[in-house]
Amino acid sequence: MKSLKQQGFSEENIMCGALDVGLLNERLRERNIIAARATGVRTIEELLEAPLESVTYTAEDLGIVAGMTGREAILRMM
Protein backbone atom coordinates (compact mmCIF):
# COMPACT_ATOMS: atom_id res chain seq x y z
CA MET A 1 0.00 0.00 0.00
CA LYS A 2 1.37 3.43 -0.95
CA SER A 3 1.87 6.02 1.78
CA LEU A 4 0.11 9.37 1.52
CA LYS A 5 3.39 11.00 0.45
CA GLN A 6 3.79 8.39 -2.31
CA GLN A 7 0.26 9.27 -3.42
CA GLY A 8 1.24 12.93 -3.88
CA PHE A 9 0.16 14.47 -0.58
CA SER A 10 2.71 16.86 0.87
CA GLU A 11 2.02 16.49 4.58
CA GLU A 12 -0.52 15.49 7.20
CA ASN A 13 -1.36 17.43 10.38
CA ILE A 14 -3.75 17.47 13.28
CA MET A 15 -3.38 20.53 15.45
CA CYS A 16 -4.90 22.93 17.96
CA GLY A 17 -6.69 26.17 17.11
CA ALA A 18 -3.48 27.85 15.91
CA LEU A 19 -3.77 26.02 12.57
CA ASP A 20 -5.22 28.26 9.83
CA VAL A 21 -7.30 25.82 7.76
CA GLY A 22 -8.70 28.69 5.67
CA LEU A 23 -5.20 29.68 4.56
CA LEU A 24 -4.35 26.08 3.69
CA ASN A 25 -7.57 25.75 1.66
CA GLU A 26 -7.40 29.06 -0.15
CA ARG A 27 -3.74 29.96 -0.64
CA LEU A 28 -1.94 26.62 -0.41
CA ARG A 29 -4.49 24.24 -1.90
CA GLU A 30 -2.12 23.06 -4.66
CA ARG A 31 0.11 21.53 -1.97
CA ASN A 32 -2.57 18.95 -1.07
CA ILE A 33 -2.03 19.36 2.67
CA ILE A 34 -4.10 17.03 4.82
CA ALA A 35 -4.84 18.92 8.02
CA ALA A 36 -7.45 19.12 10.76
CA ARG A 37 -8.02 21.60 13.57
CA ALA A 38 -9.48 21.11 17.05
CA THR A 39 -10.05 23.99 19.45
CA GLY A 40 -9.96 24.20 23.23
CA VAL A 41 -7.37 21.46 23.69
CA ARG A 42 -4.24 21.55 25.85
CA THR A 43 -2.87 18.01 25.69
CA ILE A 44 -2.30 15.37 23.05
CA GLU A 45 -5.00 13.20 24.66
CA GLU A 46 -7.49 16.07 24.49
CA LEU A 47 -6.54 16.63 20.85
CA LEU A 48 -7.20 12.98 20.05
CA GLU A 49 -10.59 12.97 21.81
CA ALA A 50 -11.83 16.40 20.68
CA PRO A 51 -14.19 16.85 17.75
CA LEU A 52 -12.50 18.51 14.80
CA GLU A 53 -13.61 22.07 14.20
CA SER A 54 -12.40 22.32 10.60
CA VAL A 55 -10.45 20.33 8.00
CA THR A 56 -8.76 21.03 4.68
CA TYR A 57 -10.37 20.13 1.36
CA THR A 58 -7.73 17.46 0.84
CA ALA A 59 -8.58 15.94 4.24
CA GLU A 60 -12.24 15.86 3.21
CA ASP A 61 -11.23 13.90 0.11
CA LEU A 62 -9.94 11.18 2.50
CA GLY A 63 -13.19 11.15 4.48
CA ILE A 64 -11.92 13.32 7.34
CA VAL A 65 -14.73 15.68 8.33
CA ALA A 66 -15.49 18.30 10.95
CA GLY A 67 -17.08 16.69 14.00
CA MET A 68 -15.10 13.44 13.95
CA THR A 69 -12.51 13.00 16.69
CA GLY A 70 -8.83 13.67 16.20
CA ARG A 71 -8.17 9.96 16.75
CA GLU A 72 -10.52 9.03 13.89
CA ALA A 73 -8.78 11.54 11.63
CA ILE A 74 -5.32 10.16 12.46
CA LEU A 75 -6.48 6.65 11.58
CA ARG A 76 -7.68 7.86 8.17
CA MET A 77 -4.31 9.57 7.60
CA MET A 78 -2.39 6.31 8.10
Q: State how far the Cα of 6 lies from the Cα of 44, in Å rounded to an integer.
A: 27
> What pLDDT sits at residue 15?
58
More confident residue, 68 or 14: 68
Q: State how far the Cα of 69 lies from the Cα of 32, in Å rounded to an integer.
A: 21
> What pLDDT sits at residue 10?
53
Predicted confidence (pLDDT) at residue 1 exceeds the cutoff of 70: no
> pLDDT tens digits for 16-70?
667 788 988 999 888 888 999 999 898 889 999 999 999 999 999 999 999 999 9
> What pLDDT sits at residue 12?
59
